[in-house]
Chain A
Amino acid sequence: AQKITQTQPGMFVQEKEAVTLDCTYDTSDPSYGLFWYKQPSSGEMIFLIYQGSYDQQNATEGRYSLNFQKARKSANLVISASQLGDSAMYFCAMRSSNFGNEKLTFGTGTRLTIIP
């Protein structure tokens, strides 16, 4: 069974500072994908970044980067130069590539608040 663990229920960060949101996962499948989503108070889940289990380099998308440590089964999201608009819930998710186990499994999320 797949499992995603996000141990930080809430974080407060000063504007313009970098922030790291933790995510650990558990799976026995050799091929899988890791995703991060942002959910503002409006409710929409916004896709941020993807990391494949066989990707050689850590994924980056603008101010977002994923610190992927396969041996430790961690996939932390790093947001550089945080902005007020980054305040939201952040969800880590994983999906196996194996047939019959393709469901996207979400963590419980981290609520990030950026302080002016």
Chain B
Amino acid sequence: ETGVTQTPRHLVMGMTNKKSLKCEQHLGHNAMYWYKQSAKKPLELMFVYNFKEQTENNSVPSRFSPECPNSSHLFLHLHTLQPEDSALYLCASSQDFAGGKTDTQYFGPGTRLTVL
């Protein structure tokens, strides 16, 4: 599946900058997700949107702000980040959010973020 795209692929930002990550899915799915992948740590779920409604905020700091204007687009707005926020940020989508094979999540290529 190559139906989930993410931009930019690489981002370098200072701690005082404001930037946004964009995710778009072309699969007709109803649920979208943001994950953070740091070195030597399991994938961490950050946010879940189901039918454009946020259903999960996994204790993420407020300097990360998600936005889901429709079922196909998901943004992650970043401001005043810390160096420890440097990681690969992955977006995913799934048909449903209710259990079963239809919940298979398909991922985008990720945005590799470096905070200086």
Give A contacts to B, CB under 8 Å.
Answer: 4, 31-33, 35, 37, 42-47, 50, 52, 91, 95-98, 102-109
Report yes or no: A104 in contact with B105, Cβ–Cβ below 8 A: yes
Known: A45-B107, A91-B43. A103 touches B100 (CB 8 A): no
Contact B97 A102, beta carbon cutoff 8 Å:
yes
5 A-B pairs whose Cβ atoms sit less than 8 Å apart in the complex: A33-B103, A47-B104, A47-B106, A47-B107, A104-B105
B interface residues, how many (CB within 8 angstroms): 26
Separation in Å of the A36 CB from the closest CB of chain B? 11
In the assembled complex, the CB of A46 is this many whole angstroms from the nearest CB of chain B, namely 8
- Cβ of B108: which chain A residues have Cβ within 8 Å of it? 44
Q: B109–A43 contact, CB under 8 A?
A: yes
The A contact surface, by secondary structure, is strand
Within 8 A of A (CB), among B77-116: 88, 90, 92, 97-101, 103-110, 112
What separation, in Å, do the CA atoms of A107 and B42 have in the docked complex? Answer: 6
Across-interface contacts of B48 in A (CB, < 8 A):
103
CA distance A97 to B101 in the complex (A): 10
Q: In whole angstroms, how far apart are the Cα atoms of A100 and B104 in the complex?
A: 17
**In the complex, residue of chain B having the shortest beta-carbon distance to the beta carbon of A6:** B42
The distance in angstroms between the C-alpha atoms of A98 and B103, with both chains bound, is 13
From B97, B99, B101, B109, contact of A42 by CB (8 A): B109
Contact status of A31 and B109, CB under 8 A, knowing A104-B45, A106-B42, A107-B42: no
Does A43 contact B98, Cβ atoms closer than 8 Å?
no
CA gap between A25 and B96 in the complex, in Å: 23
The answer to whether B101 touches A50, judged by C-beta atoms less than 8 angstroms apart, is yes
